[in-house]
Amino acid sequence: MKYRRFGKTDWMSSILGFGAMRLPVVGDMRQIDEPEAMRMMKYAIDHGVNYIDTAYMYHGGNSEILIGKLLSEGYHGKVKVATKMPIGMIRSRDELDKIFDEQRRRLKVDSIDLYLMHGLDRDRWRKVLELNVLDWAERKIHDGKIGYLGFSFHDEFGIFKEVIDGYSGWTFCQIQYNYLDVESSRRTPGTMGLRYAASKGLAVVVMEPIRGGLLAIPPPPEVQAVFDEIGFKRTPAQWALLWVWNHPEVTVALSGMSKFEQVVENIATANIAEPGILSKDELHIIERVRRMYLKYGFIGCTGCRYCIPCLRGIEIPTIISYMNRILMTEREEEKRIIVEEYLKEVPEDRSASRCIGCGECEKRCPQKLPIRELMRRSNFILRPLQPVST
């Protein structure tokens, strides 16, 4: 495992972090497959991973509980755990202690190693300032209840810079970054943000290095042909992770692994990753792939599932994932197969046809996606195709 210094601290963090938002489940997202999830996390730690990321809401709170069980089974002290204050849920300062104490009970710890203000954007940053949340956090640090303070972020570069410059006590930040998200947008500060945070001495934790798994899906033949030009074999996930780790400003790349095989592959990739590992030819290939993907019109859904439950029972993330698969291919026969799979998985009473346009999902989406418009489009994209003429 490779390690990088965590900002201005003396701690060396593994470059691969275990994101505990997409753990294997049995049934709905709240029901973690505990034996398999524990096997995966123990394997990761035993092979050098020392950073685990979770949050108050992940798996309906069960992610923090499971990590607490992991720590109590001899892994406390072998790994630092990052969790987050759900700023979007907070209505008053009184709720801060209530949630924080609940998190410590779930994790079975007295002090939380790495604590983040969750999902800051323009509005949530204003709330942090209005409720003086940073003063609360500083007291927790002084009392030994928080090790290092940071924030995760979903907005454009100007707001990101304002957050960094607005408080001198940040140790680290967490941003979405991958080879599709290089420009500042409403979901990420992009490369400018990465470099600015590093220039200020912050450790930079990257979330969604594989775009919620999208960049790990077997690509269309046209894209695969570009990857193949390099002359040796890499999986799409390896390309995506190596691109992120190629940046010296990146401290940790979080991977939301849901299968044991993903843990094994990602650790093997992390074992060889270094800043500048990719050649000019390899970077050129990734840039060509990036342009092709953008041409195919990928939807920037990371599968975080914050948009559900929908009041009408619509399976929003599942619908968008099928839309992305359709947009990845130009072959009619493959589209037909995808639509058939979709119709089997998403019954009519959970389909986008039930959308009434209330917009509640959009309020919760950290990617600022126009979900109502996407649901409308899905009714056309995911319709049964006519048989091919022979």
Q: In a structure prediction context, what are the per-residue pLDDT tens digits for the chain, which is 390 residues long? A: 999 999 999 999 999 999 999 999 997 889 999 999 999 999 999 999 999 999 999 999 999 999 999 999 999 999 999 999 999 999 999 999 999 999 999 999 999 999 999 999 999 999 999 999 999 999 999 999 999 999 999 999 999 999 999 999 999 999 999 999 999 988 899 999 999 999 999 999 999 999 888 788 778 778 889 999 999 899 999 999 999 999 999 999 999 999 999 999 999 999 999 999 999 999 999 999 999 888 766 677 888 889 999 999 999 999 999 998 887 776 778 888 999 999 999 999 999 999 999 999 999 988 788 899 899 989 888 887 644 433
Average pLDDT value for the chain: 93
The CATH class for the domain spanning 3-296 reads alpha beta
Omega before 387 within 30 of 0, i.e. cis: no
pTM, whole model, 2 decimals? Answer: 0.86
pLDDT digits (tens, 9 = 90+) for 25-61: 997 889 999 999 999 999 999 999 999 999 999 999 9
